[in-house]
Amino acid sequence: MKSVEVRVDDLMQRGYVYLRTEAPGKAFHRGFAPELRPDELLALGVFGGKYMTDCAAEFPERWYERAKLCHESHRPELNFFLVNASKPLSYWRAMGWIHPEDPRGWFQWYCRYFMGRRGPDDERQIARWKAMTRHIAQVRAHCEEGDLLCRSRQRQALLHWAYDGRRI
């Protein structure tokens, strides 16, 4: 694939340029196998709808056709599990989990990775994604299979990380 240069100009990032060096949805690192694509996550309802509402120019239009978004505020009722499973961005910054390349965090990294960007933060972000399996184990240990009301916050958090919390 020929590299594609992407220039970003949104509310949180101006003048950032990166290269897409892989075809969208292809050539993922070994062991990194998200269950849901970014467009599926946006359509299901994640982050209270207040995530990447100003990024449509960077990503395919079809991602936004069914997306549950609210530019004005975070609305848990837009989440698939109808609960708030998010910490504020200030918390993520204080924990050192936000890097300048992706000022919105993991999901922004995942969207860009999905579209073909590869970079020095990939291993760290993939390790963070893998660490979410502890929540799958807790849901399995404490919930009856298919009981979507059991541990809904953990299930929503799993959706945020591209694990399908509906199938546990």
| Interval 135-149: pLDDT, tens | 999 999 999 988 999
How far apart are the C-alpha atoms of 31 and 10, rounded to whole Å?
32
Helix (H) or strand (E) holding 62: helix 62-65
How far apart are the C-alpha atoms of 27 and 30, rounded to whole Å?
9
How far apart are the C-alpha atoms of 117 and 16, rounded to whole Å?
13
Q: Is 17 helix (H, G, I), strand (E, B) or coil?
A: strand
Residue 126 has pLDDT above 90, yes or no: yes
Task: Report pLDDT digits (tens) over 9-65.
Answer: 999 999 999 999 999 999 999 999 999 999 999 999 999 999 889 999 999 999 999
Helix (H) or strand (E) holding 122: helix 122-131
Beta strand 14-20 with 4-9 is antiparallel
**Where are the chain's structural domains?**
35-167
More confident residue, 89 or 33: 33
Task: Name the token pair of 24.
Answer: 């969208």
